[in-house]
Amino acid sequence: MSSILTNAGAASALQMLRSLDSRMFGVERQVATGLRIEHASDNAAYWSIATTMRSDNGALSAVQDALGLGAAKVETAYEGIAATTEILAAFMAKIVSAQQDGIDKNKIQEELEQLKQQIVSISNSASFAGQNWLRSDMQGEVSEAGAKTPVVSSFNRSEDGTVSVGTIDVDLSKIALFKNGGGGILQKEPDPDLGHGLGTIGGLLGFSTSGYGDVPGPVFDQPFTITKFDVVTVAFSVGTSNDTFVITKSVVDQALGGEVGYGFDGDIESAADWAKVLQQATFLNKAPSDALLTAQGGTPNIFFRAIIPLAAELITVQPPVHTRTLPPEGIDILDIDVTDPDIDFPTITLVLDEMQQKVISAGAYLGSLRSRIAMQEAFGNSLADSLDRGIGRLVDANMSEASSRLKALQVQQQLATQSLSIANSDAQNILSLFR
C-alpha cells in the first residue's frame, strides 16, 4: 500500500542509516585512537584492569629511575673504594720501606702524608645526589635505621590489591671509610658505647651467674665486632668440673661466616647471632668428652644449659676477661707517623692489612650490589614491556580488522543512502498518477 502520510520504506531506510552511522562512529574512533576499549562504557571490566595496569606501569617507570639513581651512587662509591685500595697498597709498601735501617723516615712520612690526603680527598669527593657513602654521618651507629640506606628496587601489587615498594638496603657500616665519631674502616673504634665497638661484648662484660637447669645468659644489648686482636675468656664450672670458653674472631667466623648475608668480618648483629657464637665457643669447639656447657636460645633471650650427664649440677659463670693486642681504640690511618721513635711497626702492619682487607670486602660488597641492581633494572624493563603487551591485548584495536570493517560500513552507508533516496521518491511516483 502506498501512502502520502506515512513512508514506511523511508523510515526503515532512515533507521538503518542511523544504525550504520553509529557503528561507523565507533569504528572510526578505534581507527583514530587505536583503542578498542577507550572508556569504561566500552567494557567496564577490561577498562578497569587496563587502567590499573597503566598506573602500575607508571610506578615501575619511577622505580627504574630510582634504580638508575641507586646504581649511580653504588658506582660512585665503588670507584672511590677501588682507588682507596690502590692507595692502601702503596701505603703498605711505604710502611715496609720505613722499617729498613738507614732510610730517611722523614721523606717517607712526607709521602705518607700525601697518600693520606689523597684518601681523604677521595672519600670527600665520592658524592652523588647529595649522598656520600664513604664519609658517613652515622657517628658509629649500627642500628637498622642508622647504618643502612635504601635503594628503591620494585613496585609490588598483591592479590588483594594492596601495593608496596621494595628496597635494596645498603649497609653503610661495611663501606664507610670515615664516620663522624670514629669507627670507619680507616679509623679508630668509636666510643665503646657506640657502633661496632666492643661495648659490653653483647652484654657479657661484667656478667656472672649461677643456678641449676637453664641459667639465664647475658641480655644482648647492641651489635659489636670481635676483631682478630680480641680474645674474650670466660671461666665457668658445672658441679665440680671447671672449664673456660674463649671467643675470638675465628669463633665468630666459624659460627656466622658461612651463612648467607654474613662475611668473615667478626660482626655480631643480633641476639640470635650471639647465641650461635656462644654455642660455638661453649660446645661446638670442644670434643664431646670435654664439653660441659652449651648456649641456647636466640631473640630475645639467651641461656646456658649443662650437657645431659651434668644436667642436675650447679652452673656458675664467672665474669669474662678481655684482652686485646691493640690499644682499645685501635689505630687511625691519619695518625700513623713513621718518624715516631716509639712506633710499633708489627702492629701498624697488622692494622694496615686489616684495613686493606676491609676495603677489599667493601669493594666486593659494592660490586655485588651493582650486579643486583643491574639485574633488577633488566627485570624491570622486561616487566614493563610485559605489562604494555598485556594492556594492548585487553584494549588495543585490531587495525586490520577495523579498517576492513570501516570500508564495509562505508559501502553499507552508501547503499542505505541510496535506499533512503529511493524510498523518498515514492511520494513523487504517487503524484505522477494524477497527471
pLDDT at 396 (0 to 100):
75
For 46-188+331-389, CATH number?
A: 1.20.1330.10
**Is the pLDDT assigned to residue 107 strictly greater than 50?**
yes
Residues 6 or more apart whose CB falls under 8 angstroms from that of 237 comprise: 243, 314, 315, 316
Q: What's the distance, CA 315 to chain centroid? A: 43
**Is the pLDDT assigned to residue 131 strictly greater than 70?**
yes
Name the grid cell of 334: 691519619
- Percent of the chain whose pLDDT exceeds 70: 86
Q: Which amino acid is it at 368?
A: S
Classify burial at 80, counting beta carbons within 10 Å of its beta carbon; exposed 0-12, middle 13-18, buried 19 or more.
buried
Residue 16, SS3 per DSSP: helix
Span 257-277, pLDDT tens digits: 765 556 677 788 888 889 999
Max CA pair span of the chain: 141
Instruction: CATH 1.20.1330.10 in the chain: give the residue spans.
Output: 46-188+331-389
Question: At 154, which helix (H) or strand (E)?
Answer: strand 148-157
Confidence band (pLDDT; 50, 70, 90) for 435?
low
pLDDT at 61 (0 to 100):
86
Tell which wins on pLDDT, 140 or 54.
54
Alpha carbon dihedral 194, 89, 341, 188, in 10-degree steps, equals 0
Q: Give the mean pLDDT of 207-220.
A: 90
d(CA 398, CA 392): 10
Q: Give the mean pLDDT of 199-215.
A: 86
**Is the pLDDT assigned to residue 190 strictly greater than 60?**
no
According to DSSP, residue 364 is labeled H
Classify burial at 265, counting beta carbons within 10 Å of its beta carbon; exposed 0-12, middle 13-18, buried 19 or more.
buried
Name the grid cell of 251: 669463633
pLDDT at 332 (0 to 100):
87
Q: Would the pTM of this model clear 0.75, i.e. be above it?
A: no
**Is the pLDDT assigned to residue 1 strictly greater than 60?**
no
121-130, 136-145, 185-194, 293-302 — most confident range: 121-130
User: Residues, the chain, total?
Assistant: 435
Between the alpha carbon of residue 161 and those of residues 51, 53, 157, 215, 383, the distances in Å are 14, 12, 6, 48, 18
**Cα torsion angle, 414, 418, 423, 428, sign:** positive
**Is the pLDDT assigned to residue 300 strictly greater than 90?**
no
**Is the pLDDT assigned to residue 384 strictly greater than 60?**
yes
d(CA 16, CA 63): 52
Q: Which amino acid is it at 245?
A: F
Lowest mean pLDDT among 30-44, 57-71, 164-178: 30-44
According to DSSP, residue 184 is labeled S
- Percent of the chain whose pLDDT exceeds 90: 26
